Every structure is written in C-alpha cells, then in structure tokens.
Chain A
Amino acid sequence: MKNRLIPWLMVLPVLVLFLSMTIYPFAFMIWSSFRQYDLSKGAETRFIGLSNYFQIFSDTTAIESFKFTAKLLAIAVPVELLLGIGVAFLIRGVRGEKIIRSSLLIPMMVPAAVSGVAWKMLYNYAFGPVNWFLSLFNVSKISWLGDMNYAQLGIILIDVWQWTPFVFLMIYAGLQSVPQDLIDAARVDGADWGKVFLHVEFPLLRPLILVALVLRIIDCLKTFDIVFMTTWGGPGAATHTYSFYIYKVGVSFGWNIGYASALSVLLLLVSMLLVNIVFRLVRMRQQLGFGGEGE
C-alpha cells in the first residue's frame, strides 16, 4: 500500500500545479460563460443559461472582430507560408547564408509590444519612414492607422513581417534533413530543380508545412498585442481582432467576465474546428505518422 502511494505523492505537486493552473481556469471559463458575471457591477453572479452565447450573434463589434480575424487568417497565413517556404529555398547555398538566416529571424525574436511601438512609428503619417519611402515613387501620404482599409493592411503586413520567419525557420530546418543522395539521384535521372522540389523535397517537407500551417492558424486567431500597440482596434472596429475584443470585454472596459468567457469558448471551438478541418483535408495524421484513415 505504502509503495503504491509513493509515486502518487511524488507527482502530486505537479498534478496540483497543473490542475490549478490549467484545468481550474478552463473549467471556470466554461462555468462563468453561463453566468451574468460583471465585475464593474459587483461580484454577485447568476445563472443565465446561453444568454451570453446568444449575445455574440447580435453584437456587431464581435461580428466585425470575427470578420477581420478571418481576413487576417485568409491573407496573412498563406502569404507567410509562401514567403517562408520561398525564402528557405532561396537562401540555400548562397554566399552569407548564415548571416542572412540569422537576420531573417530577428522579427520573430522582437517582443510584439516592442514591434508594435516600432511599427507605429514606421507608419507615422507625417514623419514615418514608410510614407517617406513611398514618396520616392510619388505615392501620396497614406494614413496607415487612420484609414479603415489601410489600417487592416497595415496589421496584416506586421503579422507577415513578424511570423514569416517562423515558417522559414521550420522549413529551413526541414530542408537540412532532406537526404542529399535522394536529390543527387533525381538529378542523375535528369530532374531539373522544379522536379526535384515537387517530387523529392516537397513530399518530405509536407509534414512540416502542415505543422507550420496549424500553428499559424492557432496563433493568428489569438492576435492581440500588435492591435493593442498600434490601432486599438480602430478606426471604427476595422482592426479589432477577436482576441483583442475578448480582452476589451473581459478586462479593459469593465471586467464582463461572463460575456468574455462565452467569447473565449467560441474562439476555442472555432480553433478546434479549423485545426480539425486542416487535419482532415490534408490527412495530416497520416503525414505525421499518427495512424491512417482506418484508425
């Protein structure tokens, strides 16, 4: 009996930590999503069923936030994937590869809060380098953070700048593991670089590309800091990301915990749904060796 208890006692601290830091907040989020729980109005809560969930569908800001997040997902993620893959292939074997590789990773290493401030200055209407650069090509000044469309483009560009290096890093690492003898054999058989890419490198890199895609989808749905530091979701609700809206509802403007929890649960469901769609579409489980269709 004593011997059976020892292993449990040894893992108990970690178990308690895990339950208190992960399971409890998660369960609390689910619980509070069914309650009216607004700290600015007092600590008393009451059960209101699905009201918080129904409210989301009549909340125009939530819908706009969702639309912009979808736009970010639809534009930024594919661009990041294409650019990341392209750059990984392009810098292979070029002179100064190590320096280029290191410098390409810088955007990813800069904290989002810092890059937000930096981009705010870069986008400055009157003194910003972006508008100065465009003026060299006779482009009139652009209100990067004050115009609905440009503000959205501005946020997408920052995301691409910050996260393309992540895709690049994954693909570049993958490329190092492609066996050179396979490439050499293909070349001996007369394959040009396009065929080598299509029939040798790409199939081997596919699992990594899919992992990068899934991670970027999850991350993109959580975009918050860049918006917080640059546009505060404006003008109007043009650059409100869904996560930023959750923050505003839940923290910034009055601690409406119940409604913010419902918004968060919905985000979780959408994330799971999207990731599952990707899994199914590309048969990722098979790619990653988790088992086949018949599993």
Chain B
Amino acid sequence: MRRLLVLVFVALVVMAFSAVKISVLCSPDNADALKWLAGEFMKQNPDIQVEIVPLSWELLYPKLLQDLRSQAGSFEAFTYDVMTTGAVSFGLEDLGAFMKKYPELLPPDYDLNDFIPQVLEESGMWQGKLIGLPFYNNTMLFYYRKDLFEDPKLKQAFKEKYGRELTLPTTWEEVKEIAEFFTKKFNRNSPTEYGIALMFPRTHTLFYMYLLFFGEYRCAPLGIMRHGAADLEYGEYFTADHKPAFNSEEGLKALEMMKKLMPYSPDPLGSDYGETIEYFNQGLVAMVPQWTGPYLIFKSTVGADKVGVIPMPGRSVSGQWALAINKFIPEEKKVAAFRFITFATTKWADKNKFLRFAVAPARMSTLKDPEVRAADPRVPALEVTYVSQTHRPRIPEEPRLEDITVETFSKILAGTLPLSMDTLNDLAKKWQEVLGK
C-alpha cells in the first residue's frame, strides 16, 4: 500500500513537472467561463496546465500591447477586444496557417463554418488572416421591467397621457416618451424614480454608447446614401471611404437624442457599467441598455419574470472578444495554447458558457439549439441584433480616437461645448491628425 502511494505521488510529481503551463490573460467579464473551461480542459488534457489571469479592461489592452511589443511572452493566450484588433494583430499567431500545419490538433467536430460569419470575420480576421477565434460575442440589449410594461393601470395611464398604447419601444423617440412617463419628476405616479439608466461617463463607455444612437441614423437609407456602407475594419464611425462620418447631420441628431434622454436618467455623466446595473437592480429605473452579461444579475435580483429583453430600439453595438495565441512563444507552448483555445470555442463550450455564465454565443448551432432557446429569453433578441448591430473601428489608432472623442462628447453632453457642426468638425480634424491624413 505504502509503495503504491509513493508511486502515485511520484507519478503526480512527474506529471506536474512535465505538464506544459500556459497563462491566459482575459477580461473579468469572461474570466469565470474561461476558468470553468480551463478546469474541464485540464481534466481531459492532464499534460497541459492552464492558468487564467483576469485583468480589468483599462489595464488589459496596455498590458497585452506591452507584452507583445517587448516579445516577453508572459502570456501564451489571451482574449482581446475586437476594437483593439488592429493594434495587437502584429503579435498574434496566424491560426489558419497553424491549423494547416497541425490539422490533427483541431477537435474532431470543430467547425469554423458554424461561427456566425460576420462574427468570425470581425473578431477573428485581420487583413486576410485568421488571428483569433470568437469567444464572447457580446452585444448590447435593451432590458426593461416586464411587470411595469404589462401593468393594466400603468398602460391605461400611459394611453391617457400620450394617446397611444404602452408598447415596447422600437425607436429612441418612443424610448424618450416612455422614459418621461416612468420618471417621477415628470409623472408623480410613476412606480420608478427614473425612466432609463444611461451610462455616458468619461471612460470608453461613451464611445460605444454613441453608436446606439448614431447607428439608427447612420444605417438608415439616407445615412447610407450620404456616407456609404461601413466596413468591419473602420465601422460606422467612418464613411465608406474611411473619413469621419459623425461630423454630419446624422452625428448631430445622435447627440441631440442623447441629450434629450438625459433628464430621465440618474446621473448619466457620472454613471458607468456598475452603477446602471445597480439602478436597474434596485428598481430605480424602468429600462436600461446593457451588455448581454448583466442579464444573469438582473434575473437573480429583479426576478426572471420581471425582466424583459428586446433588441436595441436604435442600433446595437458589437463588443466581441476573441481568443488568440501569442506569436512570440516557443512552439510547444503554441501547441498547448492552440489546444486550449480551440477547446474553449467548440460547439459544446459555446453552448455551455452561454447557459452557465451568460457569455454570449458565437456559433449558429448554439442559437438554434432547442435547449438554449428554451432556457434563455435573450436568444430571439440576439438573433435580430447580431445582423443589425453597428461596429467600432478596429484600426490601430482606435484607442487614441476613442479618447479624444469621449472628451469632446462628454463636454457636449455636459454643455461646456456647443452641440454644433463646428464642434464635430473640430473633432473630425483631430481624427485626421491622428490618422495622419
């Protein structure tokens, strides 16, 4: 018996030392899912040890860029935000070439064609190369208090005040009316203090929130006629020939609408992701535009029967994250990292990470899965959103453009800069300087 124990111990020690260790840097939003997947992966692959390292959004991108530029190889794999694709692409392994080199490493049922085509293109491809595998197909959804929207007394009161039924909003104009109805300052009988929770702070949040409003005008027939169709590299902030598109009538309208909604929201310029989730959780507001993830929080706090989900009244914005491999690491580690990232993006993983951790699916098979459809009310909204959402630029200059833009937008919303074409033209000029045009 004693001998057996010693043998087991020795075997464990040998295994521990012979295992290849890989570190995966990721966003906290998808860390729990990745940790769980890493556990499942290590059960099946004891020769590989996977360590998941979550880092806040503000620190993740600089850390990643620093690691890749210095070629330090501190992290073998990582999740990267789709908008930083251009900036980090130089340091990512060409997964297409890797798949050709090691076809035996790909899981047997791994089907690249099962990924939602646009998602694979946007989060995985850069200049013709496959550099990432879609992991977290995040998008923004519109959450509302189902119980309030279905309350007969409230419906009656709304009809008396506005002369129309209290229906789920399909435009921001409708949202404004409903938000006013649910704001105590404008309707003493409102069951909530405010109509809507908006997050327009100085952080990068304001950059994507703007697209919820701008997208509606930019993607309307008139907007397409003026600016042309946007591509996935430059997104809706740009015209088809890659010039700024926001210094236009459409751009002004978007900011006007944002300003119009602000009186119905608690502290929009001072609230971010966490605060707006809390406002909805605590019953302070009736509606909130939010990412896919917070649904699980709303479901457990507010109650599944009280939380409704619909596509964004204007246009949503994509917030995808892909899994990639560091180009500057030894081949042995690349193989281990490849085995892990393909495991974490299989059909099985895609379905389970959505059901267990609300990590939005990237595969069509997950969206079609009867079990998923029965379990999660977000699926119909996701299907609509995935084909109509807007996109941020993916070019290397994106982070800098984002910073100067949120500063100007923030000042416009705060009223310290005039909401005018001149202001937007000034901003466009700054963009051109950053882009070197």
Contact = CB atoms under 8 A, between A and B. Distances in A.
Interface of A: 39-43, 61, 123-127, 143-148, 151, 228, 231-237, 248, 251-256
- How many chain B residues sit at the interface, stated as a range, is 35 or more
A145 B414 CA distance: 12
Contacts of A233: 202
A146 B416 CA distance: 13
A146 B87 contact: no
Interface stretch (B278-286, B324-332, B356-364): B278-286
A235 B269 contact: yes
A41 B398 CA distance: 12
A43 B69 CA distance: 7
Given A143-B267, A253-B403, 10 more contacts: A42-B90, A125-B267, A125-B275, A146-B201, A146-B271, A235-B414, A236-B410, A236-B411, A251-B62, A253-B400
Interface in B181-203: 193, 201-203
A76 to B, nearest CB: 21
B279 A253 contact: no
A256 B434 CA distance: 12
A234 B396 contact: no
A84 to B, nearest CB: 30
B266 interface: yes
A268 B69 CA distance: 27
Contact of A147 (B270, B396, B399): B270
A234 B278 contact: no
5 contacts: A39-B69, A40-B87, A231-B201, A248-B403, A251-B62
A253 B399 contact: yes
Among A123, A255, A256, chain B packs the most CB atoms within 10 A around the CB of A255
A251 B267 CA distance: 29
A66 to B, nearest CB: 15
Contacts of B400: 40, 253-254, 256
A146 B65 contact: no
Given A124-B275, A146-B201, A234-B203, A151 B416 contact: no
B274 to A, nearest CB: 9
Contact of A252 (B62, B268, B269): B62
Contacts of A124: 275
B267 A146 contact: yes
B407 interface: yes
Contacts of B404: 61
B399 A254 contact: yes
Interface of B: 58, 61-62, 65-66, 69, 87, 90, 193, 201-203, 266-271, 275, 278-279, 282, 284, 396-397, 399-400, 402-404, 406-407, 410-411, 413-414, 416-417
Contacts of B201: 145-146, 231-232, 234-235
A235 B406 CA distance: 9
A43 B267 CA distance: 42
Among B266, B269, B270, B413, chain A packs the most CB atoms within 10 A around the CB of B270
A231 B58 CA distance: 13
B245 to A, nearest CB: 22
A80 to B, nearest CB: 25
Contacts of A39: 65-66, 69
B266 A126 contact: yes
Contacts of B406: 234
Q: What 5 A-B pairs are tightest by C-beta distance, nearest first?
A: A234-B202, A146-B270, A146-B269, A125-B267, A145-B270
Among A40, A143, A237, chain B packs the most CB atoms within 10 A around the CB of A40
A237 B410 CA distance: 9
B279 A234 contact: no
A282 to B, nearest CB: 38
A146 B266 CA distance: 10
Contacts of A43: 69
Among A39, A124, A126, A237, chain B packs the most CB atoms within 10 A around the CB of A126
